[in-house]
Structure 1
Amino acid sequence: MKVFFVGLAALLCLAGAVALRCNVCKHKLVLFGCIQGSGETTCGWRERCVNIKASLGKLPIYSRLNCTSVANCGAVRTPYESHFTYDYTCCDTDFCN
């Protein structure tokens, strides 16, 4: 029973040590950098750092930095009745976004 708890404690410590840390920015403009909501965060399990680029046609407007589900990685979305396109680019090393 001792071995089980020691193994569980080691696993929990290892899981906490490998948590991915990402930059956060609610609105990052091309020429001005982050203008709202900057900081850092720790992603959850099955999440990656993401840079979501908002474009109007081919014209880049702004970016958002945060964590997102692995399922969103590589997606390109255009919400209903919106002229914007959102491109989700993910990475999996600390502060890679």
Structure 2
Amino acid sequence: MNGTLMLRAEALIPIIGLVSGLIGAYVGLQNRALLAEVRTELAELENRIIARINGTYVRSAECLIRSENANSRLDDLAGEVRDLSRAGRHAEE
């Protein structure tokens, strides 16, 4: 009986080690899968934030172009008003 118990103990120890190793491998794979999922979600969130920032704020180069365009239009309108004013003065004389 003592020999049988010793044989069972000798078989039980490697089995416990094997089960422990399998559990460790499973947990490691779960951690990798979770990490990959977190990285994917983080990349998606980063893309949404960047898209929102790009849609909300105007770049300085765009502001400069808009300002130049507005000034050009105002100069054109001022020139037209001057021309109309001169034409009106000449018609009165």
For the superposition of Structure 1 and Structure 2, which TM-score range results when normalised by the shorter chain?
Answer: under 0.3
- TM-score (ref. length: structure 1): 0.27
Greater fraction helix = 2
Using CA pairs below 8 Å that are at least 6 residues apart, which structure has the higher relative contact order?
1
Greater fraction strand = 1
- TM-score (ref. length: structure 2): 0.28
